[in-house]
Amino acid sequence: MSSSSRTARSFKFSENKGKVITGTIIGATTLAYFTNDTVHDSIKHTYLTAGRVNVVTWATMRCFWEYKKVLGSNYVSEDERYTALSQCHLKCAKITLEALEKNGGVYIKLGQHIGAMTYLLPDEWTSTMISLQDRCPVSSVEDINEMLKHDLGRSIDELFEEFDYKPIGSASLAQVHVAKLRSSGEKVAVKCQHPSLKEFVPLDVFLTQTVFQLLDKVFPEYPLVWLGDELQSSIYVELDFTNETDNARRTSEYFQKFTSLTALRIPKILVSSPRVLIMEFLPGARLDDLSYMKANGIDRSEVSACLAHIFNNMIFTPGVGIHCDPHGGNLALRACPPSGNNPHNYEIILYDHGLYRDVTLQMRRDYARFWLALLKRDREGMEKHAIQFAKITPEQFPVFAAAITGRDIDTALNYDTSKLRDDSEIENMKSALTSQGLLVDLMSILSSMPRVVLLILKTNDLVRHLDEVLQNPQPERVFLISAQYCANTAYEEDMELIAQEEMSYSNLGVTKRVSGYFHCAFERIGAVMRWYGWWWSLKGYEWKLWIRTHI
């Protein structure tokens, strides 16, 4: 037999052997896929993981290409460049939105963060991401039922007499169903974490950080690595609903003594586990629903004042902490008759207490003195305290002042910031971010400052936005309320410093105490006197509240 014949037969045998082995592997894999849950889940997980990676990779490459093309081109005029960049922003925002919606979960959360950064990102990006507030994925009832059995030891039918299978709301991390407890007949809200999050969160956080690191290398002038770091540091805390239980209970207990000023109501949590919460059902209207307010005789300026008291309390009071997700979807307005604790004809409902951040004592004090300097139009004092609490440089101060007040630079530094912004000022701010290159400066500032300062800025932005949406007829009132909290904080610091003096009980010490008191009182009076004409037109409402709480 020739060597060529032997080679051919050997090759044919090897080929047949390869087919047999391949067929055996495929057959065994197929059999295991349908009969072995572990193999089935492993293969499914690998397939879904590859799909998620592909979605992120493809969207990132497309956006990189679009921006490289636009930023590397030459333009006849600045207007032409502005138009091209605006179109690029919009196109890339839509590409990103599609990818975020396709992957869901943590990516929805990321998109919501982007949509909330109106003070930092171009309007094309933030407006495109707004849809993610109301368009979140919904987990199946079967998956929810399995999770309830695993986490609480009982099924939907065992726990509830009634259960609405269609959620009344779905967010990035959870969805909420209305139900009636079988044990008591009480109507409740059931907050259920999306079961799929447990499987993909580590991968999604890693991919997100990788994308932002790539962005930092390709576009170093737009640092966003901090956004990925922020997501990693917070997501695992938010995914443990027992943290939300503790935060809600602590915040509710604190604000009970301030109900007359805040009208705040936090849903009581009845059952808690890491992935499921059962709480009292407290529905309400959106805070921008002016027709609801009119129909129920709710005063818009009072609602605005209550919001100012709520969030200033969180910022300036030790041990309370700031709600980390203050957007319109987590607030509701509920008409109700006045009661002994609440003289208002409404309640402000605050939802989603998964994440709170504390403000350090010194940061709180520097922040208070920054606002007092702003009210006195003391630019030197503003700059001094902004540098201390926000860790910025003197060169960065003008842009930071504009960001934290929500005004253009000229108004923030030289004019009355208590008045509402008009459309022309808002347009000037948007134009300055792009045409004057302030966007790059702003992103550089915000990427390097302490994260809690960014949260304070976000909270300010929310209160300012709601004040504008409410069309508050008395916008100065919000500034007056803020000034009171700032003055109290500054006064407490002054008294503490005086008490630390060795001669605090000598004549000199008494003199220092008195001078310290009147120094801070002067700051209070200075702020109040700016609005004295408005103050006396309040119909005595604030005085009634003061008498009620102090006498």
HEC profile for 368-401? Answer: HHHHHHHHCCCHHHHHHHHHHHHCCCHHHHHHHH
| Percent of the chain scoring above 70 in pLDDT | 74
Boundary residue ending a domain (80, 102, 133): 133
Distance (Å, whole) CA 179 – CA 160: 6
Q: Do you know the residue count of the chain?
A: 551
- Does residue 264 contact residue 258 with C-beta atoms inside 8 Å? yes
Quick one: pLDDT at residue 219? 73
Whole-number Å distance between alpha carbons of 80 and 351? 45
- What DSSP assignment string belongs to 18-55? HHHHHHHHHHHHHHHHHH-HHHHHHHHHHHHHHHHHHH
Q: How many CB atoms lie within 10 A of CB 309?
A: 22
Check if the beta carbon of residue 337 is closer than 8 Å to that of residue 345. yes
42: left (phi over 0), alpha (psi -120 to 50) or beta: alpha
- 192 and 276 Cβ atoms separated by less than 8 Å: yes
Q: Mean pLDDT throughout 454-481?
A: 78
Q: In 10 A of CB 76, how many CB atoms?
A: 7
Got the DSSP string for 118-155? TTTS-HHHHHHHGGGGT------HHHHHHHHHHHHSS-
Domain that holds residue 434: 361-550
Residue in the block written with tokens 């409404």: 346
Q: Is residue 332 part of a domain?
A: no
Any domain includes 115: yes
> Which of 97-111, 210-224, 366-380, 532-546 has the weakest average pLDDT?
532-546
Q: Is residue 193 part of a domain?
A: no
Within a domain: 391: yes
pLDDT tens, residue by residue, 25-49: 444 444 443 444 444 445 554 645 7
Question: Which of the listed residues 83, 100, 133 is the one where a domain comes to its end?
Answer: 133
Per-residue pLDDT, 297: 95
Query: What is the band of 168 on the pLDDT scale with cuts at 50, 70, 90?
Result: very high
Instruction: Judge whether 325 counts as a catalytic residue.
Output: yes
pTM of the predicted structure, to 2 decimals: 0.76
Helix H, strand E, coil C: the string for 447-500 is HHCCHHHHHHHHHHHHHHHHHHHCCCCCCHHHHHHHHHHHHHHHHHHHHHHHHC
Q: What share of the chain is helix, strand, coil (3-state, %, to 5)?
A: 65, 10, 25
Higher pLDDT, 263 or 23: 263
Rounded to whole angstroms, the Cα distance separating 497 from 502 reads 11
Do residues 497 and 385 touch, judged by C-beta distance below 8 A?
Answer: no
What pairing do the DSSP bridges indicate for beta strands 160-163 and 169-170? unpaired
- Structural domains in the chain (count): 2
Sheet order of strands, 264-265 included? 264-265, 346-350, 331-335
- Using an 8 Å Cβ cutoff, are 112 and 132 in contact? yes
* Distance, CA of 260 to CA of 274 (rounded, Å): 33
Q: What does 287-299 look like in DSSP terms, one character per residue?
A: TT-HHHHHHTT--
| Contact of 447 with 223, CB cutoff 8 Å | yes
**Token pair recorded at residue 287:** 């805070």
541: helix, strand or coil: helix
pLDDT digits (tens, 9 = 90+) for 224-252: 777 778 788 888 899 999 999 999 999 99
Residue 125 lies in a domain: yes
- 414: confidence class by pLDDT, cuts 50, 70, 90: low
| Residue 348: strand pairing partners | 264, 333
Residue that finishes a domain, picked among 79, 100, 133: 133
- The one-character DSSP state at 2 is -
Residue-averaged pLDDT of the chain: 78
Q: Is residue 296 part of a domain?
A: no
Structure confidence at residue 374 as a pLDDT band (50, 70, 90)? confident
464 or 68, which is more confident?
68
Q: Does residue 222 fall inside a structural domain?
A: no
Beta strand ranges found along 147-225 (DSSP E): 160-163, 169-170, 174-181, 187-193
Q: Of these residues, 37, 151, 288, 325, which one is catalytic? A: 325
Domain-located, residue 26: no
